[in-house]
């Protein structure tokens, strides 16, 4: 008996605005609790919300990037419940008239063409943060996060495996980052995800009972949690106990590696939604939507397609490059300066990425501009300097600036390609390393590598390795 | 309008209010008469009315996305009964 | 009383208007400090017998007055309310001054900011002398629901001053201040104004900022002036109205700037509608005759008065109580003892903290309304109650808009009953609610309305007339109210 897995996701992303959704408090991380608060986001008596226009713009941008329909009119509603991190005891959210509806994201995964439909994208405010003390009977509340604008993205249950779900999340993250809508850092909480999962016997039309999973803090946890829950449900089916799958919320416990039923609270979640009387409806006209659509950058899937088809890059390479919009733009600038795509890709994915990781500098601020990189690449391609030297030059440019030509000059890195000069070094090395020479002639081809290395050392890395190889082989085979 | 004591107890829970038995008794009676009066809204002919609540056609007012420092944090939290450093302190919550 | 006040008229029992004071202080005739001192003295000597104030701001008022005197002395031009002592209803936030909503829940709450209207008053150089008593969280029609004290009607201290702005009404009626701010959600300015024999105006929804008004019914609340004369009322309105970036429901369009200057204009040709639905069985006969007499006098001044019917107008109470309770249940959910407000002495956990805080901090009427509102919004009932009430509201609005196409204003009584005895109506909440029948349709439709004294009962109790205008028609209702006031010249 085969079982089919049905997965839907509910995602929250913090919007990259300077100020909160209903007040002017900063959204920047603040080390001091309650530093970014004011009477409005604290919900002090008498205060009123005023809507941040950038939050709306970013929500519309997200919707258009996800191919949604942008509703001409959307409005806010109050979601009423009591919790210490919710200052007004209601969250201003959107219930029946959200910003966007009916979108879709398509991608290929495991040989299947997957289309995940987006049910809605709506705006809401975030709540504060709670810290529970370990050895004292207190909890502490910090309202810095209260009022930060969020978009909630709800998908239809269109994913059929944990891998599809994670792939979708990666795509979504990539899209939101490309469009500069959100920082999308799951570990920091600017991207959050709850999952709904059910299974059904293959061929059955009705969906099985769905279970909600919470407390997922990374893509890896998402996959693990879904896999565990999928397994749990299928096993219950296999043992004829599928009735034990109840509609509930289960908490992913990464320490224990399993999902745990949350203590169901008797109080039904009756949120008593009603339209927010302190805010007026938001009208978004077609011109505004067009303008936002036009401002969308090329999206990752499109770039990926171009990189693999037009530039002939491998899927993996294209994946890494398109995973970071600034990196991919850097790469393309280098290509448009005249570098061959595959070569440029090697450099970007090799030395550039390595230096970025080492230095912690962001890909939007690479200190070596594409023009200089292209010139460096040309110097290596033309044999003016060796590959090794080229990488040294790049490092120097990255850390201290300067042009490739200057650095090569200053450090005397010009590659020695003259056969005469190299021959001299080759002969010197052969003379000084009789044992290795004997080993080589005795059939130990590895000794060649050692001898080449010695010639390179003698030349301070400047000898053209292919010439060295050629001449060394010739000399060794002579005697 | 029939309303049971259980209904009243449930509503009290939703509203985070607690009442004594006598108070529940009294409230149930009051609810019955008040809600009975509210029933008059049932008798009105509202079929012709468009359910869209926004009658006056006004459009939303926006705020530009910029930071405004809200002044004194001491003042903001002076009414808080219990603080630890700059955190607000409450009894430990079990999740 | 010290002799230093002898040159100020009305020092003991006479009356000084807002206009008189501001002109006098601006012109150097009196100093702000002596005016302030005089009124603080009045409050101190009279309020024990009335109970209008919850907080008297002697220190800050004296400092404000002193600063104003400095400002004038240095040659700077003072604001249009220079030196005018104003009382503010205790649900309007005042920075650094206790704001309680007459509730144990906020007994020691000190707001860290001023409401926009307070900022406006201060920028016009008014002097805030105190915070007035009210029904707890503005829920009530007699000020008997205050957690702290009873306010007595200055006309007859065995009777209520009306509510919920009873403290403000009594303070003005007794001459303790020339002007006060009240708030009106279902009649809370107009009814106490009628009960105390003063002028009270509820502006068009959105004309006056709600920022800093501790919310009760968000789609219904408005702050408005309460004064002895119509001219004073006009001046106060000019000072407090205006767009506010901090209130999204605040009106951002064009509106009248000058009301006082338009008073005294001829009302000949004004078309006035009298609502048939107002003249029900429950209407006290003395009030009915007083209103009818006013109609005759207005006709005598050249107005054309017709009787009309607005079918929906008689059915407003249910919708009003559903909407206001629903919004209130949500607005008052933030009071849980965590960030501010009453905290119980003992609690085992956070849930108990919140529950006890609310149950002990709120009075019976507030809890009753929260329960009603929660019920109306709860799953299964939202469509039947709240949604239907909003539909009714739309219907009412369009019917009233239709009336204003043919008429300049609507006229009727402000209250179906005369001021009742303290304690008389506390037993039956429904009965109390039913008395709001004339005022609530105004809030539901967002229209402006004024209550102006139009008569005195046999027992010497004031009777108020309500004039309702179209959206942003404050100028019209003030004009008509002024004409009537000048015509009747009531000795109150």
Residues A36, A144: Cα–Cα separation, whole Å:
5
Residue A267 has pLDDT above 70, yes or no: no
Q: Which domains does chain A carry?
A: 3-288 (no CATH), 298-411 (no CATH), 419-478 (1.10.10.410)
Residue B84: inside a domain, yes or no? no
Residue A405 has pLDDT above 50, yes or no: yes
Question: Mean pLDDT, to the nearest integer, of B9-32?
Answer: 93
**φ, ψ at C305 (rounded to 5°):** -115, 130
Q: What is the per-residue burial (b if ≥16 Cβ within 10 Å, else e) of C425-449? A: bbeebeebbebbbbbbbbbbbbbbb
A68-116 pLDDT, tens digit each: 999 999 999 999 999 999 999 999 999 999 999 999 999 888 888 999 9
Helix crossing, A286-294 with A53-65: angle to 10°?
A: 70
**Cβ C218–A141 below 8 Å, yes or no?**
no
Residue B53: inside a domain, yes or no? no
Question: Which one of C333, C349, C353, C383 would you mutate to disrupt binding with A, by most A Cβ within 10 Å of its Cβ?
Answer: C333
Residue B86: inside a domain, yes or no? no
Question: Mean pLDDT, to the nearest integer, of B50-78?
Answer: 79
Structure tokens at C314: 């008689």
Does C426 contact B at CB distance below 8 Å? no
From the CA of C107, how many Å to the nearest CA of chain A?
13
The beta strand positions in C282-421, using DSSP E, are: 304-308, 409-413
Nearest neighbour of B79 by CB, restricted to C333, C340, C378:
C340
CATH number, domain of B10, equals 1.10.20
Positive/negative CA dihedral, A65, A67, A70, A75? negative
Query: What is the tally of structural domains in chain B?
Result: 1
pLDDT tens, per residue, chain C with 492 residues: 333 333 444 445 468 999 999 999 999 999 999 999 999 999 999 999 999 999 999 999 999 999 999 999 999 999 999 999 999 999 999 999 999 999 999 999 999 999 999 999 999 999 999 999 999 999 999 999 999 999 999 999 999 999 999 999 999 999 999 999 999 999 999 999 999 999 999 999 999 999 999 999 999 999 999 999 999 999 999 999 999 999 999 998 888 889 999 999 999 999 999 999 888 888 999 999 999 999 999 999 999 999 999 988 888 899 999 999 999 999 999 999 999 999 999 999 999 999 999 999 999 999 999 999 999 999 888 888 899 999 999 999 999 999 999 999 999 999 999 999 999 987 777 778 888 889 999 999 999 999 999 999 999 999 999 999 999 999 999 999 999 999 999 877
Residue B29: inside a domain, yes or no? yes
From the CA of A160, how many Å to the nearest CA of chain C?
33
Supply the residues of C annotated as catalytic. Answer: 89, 164, 188
Domain that holds residue B11: 5-43
Token pair 């005016």 in the structure block, residue: C35
Residues A373, A359: Cα–Cα separation, whole Å:
18
**Cβ C338–A84 below 8 Å, yes or no?**
yes
Instruction: Report which secondary-structure segment, H or E, holds B32.
Output: helix B21-38
Does C358 contact B at CB distance below 8 Å? yes
Q: Which domains does chain C carry?
A: 12-262 (3.90.1300.10), 271-314+391-488 (3.90.1300.10), 319-383 (no CATH)
Contacts of C337 in chain B (CB under 8 A): 81
Per-residue pLDDT at C201: 98
Per-residue pLDDT at C380: 85
Per-residue pLDDT at B63: 94
Per-residue pLDDT at C2: 34
Residues A98, A77: Cα–Cα separation, whole Å:
10
Q: Which of C365, C413, C424, C412 is nearest to C156 (CA)?
A: C424
> What is the overall mean pLDDT for chain A?
92
Residue B25: inside a domain, yes or no? yes
Residues A292, A321: Cα–Cα separation, whole Å:
25
**Cβ C318–B41 below 8 Å, yes or no?**
yes
Chains that touch C (3 or more CB pairs under 8 A): A, B
B57 pLDDT band, cuts 50/70/90, is low
A165-212 pLDDT, tens digit each: 999 999 999 999 999 999 998 888 899 999 999 999 999 999 999 999
Question: Which one of C313, C359, C446 would you mutate to disrupt binding with B, by most B Cβ within 10 Å of its Cβ?
Answer: C359
Does B57 contact C at CB distance below 8 Å? no
Structure tokens at A108: 């290929």
Structure tokens at C236: 């106060």
Contacts of B63 in chain C (CB under 8 A): 245
Per-residue pLDDT at A443: 83
Residues A456, A450: Cα–Cα separation, whole Å:
10
Chains that touch B (3 or more CB pairs under 8 A): A, C
From the CA of C163, how many Å to the nearest CA of chain A?
20
Residue B94: inside a domain, yes or no? no
A335-351 pLDDT, tens digit each: 999 999 999 999 999 99
Per-residue pLDDT at C427: 77
A409-460 pLDDT, tens digit each: 888 888 777 888 888 888 888 889 888 888 888 888 888 888 888 888 888 8
Q: Which of A326, A328, A330 is nearest to A303 (CA)?
A: A328
Token pair 């209407």 in the structure block, residue: C283
Question: Mean pLDDT, to the nearest integer, of A48-77?
Answer: 97
From the CA of A365, how many Å to the nearest CA of chain B?
25
Nearest neighbour of C115 by CB, restricted to A42, A46, A80:
A46
Per-residue pLDDT at C158: 97
Residue B20: inside a domain, yes or no? yes
Q: Cβ distance C424 to C285 under 8 Å?
A: no
Residue B83: inside a domain, yes or no? no
């Amino acid at each position: 008996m085969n079982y089919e897995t049905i997965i839907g996701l509910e995602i929250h992303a913090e919007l990259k605005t300077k100020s909160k959704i209903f007040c002017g408090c900063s959204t920047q991380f603040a080390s001091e609790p309650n530093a970014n608060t004011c009477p409005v986001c604290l919900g002090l008596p008498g205060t009123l919300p005023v809507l941040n226009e950038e939050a709306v713009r970013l929500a519309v941008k997200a919707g258009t990037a996800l191919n949604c329909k942008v509703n001409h009119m959307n409005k806010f509603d109050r979601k009423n419940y009591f919790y210490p991190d919710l200052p007004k005891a209601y969250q201003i959210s959107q219930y029946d008239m959200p910003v966007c509806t009916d979108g879709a994201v398509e991608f290929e995964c495991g040989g299947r063409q997957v289309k995940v439909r987006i049910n809605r994208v709506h705006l809401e405010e975030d709540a504060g943060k709670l810290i529970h003390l370990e050895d004292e009977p207190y909890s502490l509340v910090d309202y810095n996060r209260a009022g930060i604008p969020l978009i909630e993205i709800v998908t239809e249950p269109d994913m059929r495996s944990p891998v599809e779900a994670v792939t979708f999340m990666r795509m979504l993250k990539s899209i939101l980052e490309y469009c500069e809508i959100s920082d999308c850092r799951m570990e920091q909480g600017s991207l959050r995800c709850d999952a709904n999962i059910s299974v059904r016997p293959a061929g059955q039309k009705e969906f099985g009972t769905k279970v909600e999973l919470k407390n997922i803090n990374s893509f890896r946890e998402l996959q693990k949690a879904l896999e565990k829950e999928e397994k749990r449900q299928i096993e219950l089916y296999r043992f004829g106990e599928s009735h034990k799958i109840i509609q509930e919320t289960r908490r992913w416990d990464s320490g224990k590696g399993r999902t745990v039923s949350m203590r169901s609270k008797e109080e039904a979640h009756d949120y008593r939604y009603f339209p927010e009387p302190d805010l007026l409806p938001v009208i978004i006209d077609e011109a505004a939507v067009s303008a936002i659509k036009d401002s969308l950058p090329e999206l990752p899937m499109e770039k990926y397609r171009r990189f693999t088809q037009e530039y002939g890059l491998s899927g993996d390479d294209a994946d890494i490059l398109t995973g970071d919009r600034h990196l991919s733009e850097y790469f393309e600038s280098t290509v448009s300066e005249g570098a061959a795509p595959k070569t440029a890709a090697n450099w970007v994915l090799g030395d550039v990425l390595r230096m970025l990781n080492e230095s912690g500098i962001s890909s939007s601020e690479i200190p070596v501009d594409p023009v200089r990189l292209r010139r460096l690449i040309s110097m290596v391609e033309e044999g003016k300097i060796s590959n090794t030297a080229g990488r040294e030059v790049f490092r120097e440019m990255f850390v201290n600036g300067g042009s490739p030509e200057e650095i090569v000059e200053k450090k005397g890195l010009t590659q020695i390609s003259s056969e005469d000069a190299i021959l001299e070094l080759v002969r010197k090395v052969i003379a000084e390393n009789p044992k290795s020479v004997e080993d080589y002639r005795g059939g130990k081809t590895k000794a060649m590598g050692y001898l080449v290395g010695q010639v390179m050392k003698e030349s301070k890395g400047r000898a053209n390795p292919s010439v060295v190889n050629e001449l060394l082989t010739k000399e060794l085979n002579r005697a | 309008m029939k309303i049971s004591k259980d209904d009243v107890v449930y509503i009290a829970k939703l509203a985070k209010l607690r009442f004594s038995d006598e108070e529940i008794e009294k409230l149930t009676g009051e609810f019955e008469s008040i809600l009975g009066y509210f029933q008059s809204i049932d008798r009105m002919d509202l079929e012709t009315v468009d359910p869209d609540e926004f009658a006056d056609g006004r459009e939303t007012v926006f705020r530009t996305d910029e930071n405004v420092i809200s002044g004194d944090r001491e003042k903001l939290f002076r009414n808080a009964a219990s603080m630890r450093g700059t955190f607000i302190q409450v009894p430990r919550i079990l999740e | 009383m010290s002799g230093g006040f002898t040159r100020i008229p009305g020092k003991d029992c006479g009356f000084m208007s807002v206009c008189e004071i501001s002109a006098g202080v601006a012109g150097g005739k009196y100093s702000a400090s002596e005016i302030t001192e005089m009124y603080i003295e009045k409050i101190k000597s009279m309020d024990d017998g009335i109970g209008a104030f919850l907080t008297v701001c002697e220190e800050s008022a004296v400092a404000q007055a002193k600063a104003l005197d400095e400002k004038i002395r240095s040659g700077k031009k003072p604001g249009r309310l220079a030196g005018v002592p104003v009382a503010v209803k205790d649900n309007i936030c005042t920075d650094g001054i206790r704001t309680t909503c007459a509730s144990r829940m906020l007994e020691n709450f000190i707001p860290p900011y001023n409401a926009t209207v307070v900022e406006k008053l201060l920028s016009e150089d008014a002097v805030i002398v105190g915070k007035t008593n009210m029904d707890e969280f503005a829920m009530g029609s007699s000020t008997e629901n205050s957690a702290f004290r009873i306010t007595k009607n200055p006309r007859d201290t065995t009777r209520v001053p009306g509510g919920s702005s009873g403290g403000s009404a009594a303070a003005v009626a007794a001459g303790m201040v020339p002007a006060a701010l009240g708030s009106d959600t279902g009649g809370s300015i107009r009814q106490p104004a009628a009960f105390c024999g003063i002028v009270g105006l509820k502006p068009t929804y959105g004309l006056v900022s709600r920022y800093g008004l501790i919310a009760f019914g968000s789609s219904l609340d408005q702050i408005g002036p309460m004064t002895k004369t119509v001219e004073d009322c006009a001046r106060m309105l000019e000072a407090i109205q205006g767009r506010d970036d901090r209130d999204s429901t605040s009106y951002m369009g064009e509106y009248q700037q000058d009301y006082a200057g338009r008073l005294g204009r001829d009302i000949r040709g004004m078309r006035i509608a009298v609502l048939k639905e107002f003249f029900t069985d429950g209407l006290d006969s003395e009030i009915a005759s007083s209103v009818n007499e006013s109609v005759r006098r207005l006709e005598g001044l050249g107005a054309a008065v017709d009787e009309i019917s607005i079918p929906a107008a008689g059915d407003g109470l249910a919708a009003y109580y559903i909407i206001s309770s629903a919004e209130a249940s949500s607005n008052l959910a933030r009071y849980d003892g965590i960030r501010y407000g009453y905290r119980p002495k003992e609690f085992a956990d956070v849930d108990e903290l919140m529950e006890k805080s609310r149950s002990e901090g709120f009075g019976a009427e507030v809890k009753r309304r929260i329960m009603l509102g929660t019920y109306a919004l709860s799953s299964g009932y939202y469509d039947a109650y709240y949604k239907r009430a909003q539909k009714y509201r739309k219907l009412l609005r369009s019917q009233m808009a239709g009336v204003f196409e043919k008429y300049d204003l609507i006229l009727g009584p402000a209250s179906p009953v005369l001021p009742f005895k303290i304690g008389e109506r506390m037993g039956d909440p429904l009965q109390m609610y039913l008395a709001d029948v004339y005022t609530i349709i105004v809030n539901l439709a967002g229209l402006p309305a004024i209550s102006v004294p139009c008569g005195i009962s046999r027992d010497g109790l004031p009777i108020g007339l309500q004039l309702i205008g179209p959206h942003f028609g404050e100028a019209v209702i003030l004009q008509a109210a002024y004409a009537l006031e000048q015509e009747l010249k009531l000795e109150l």
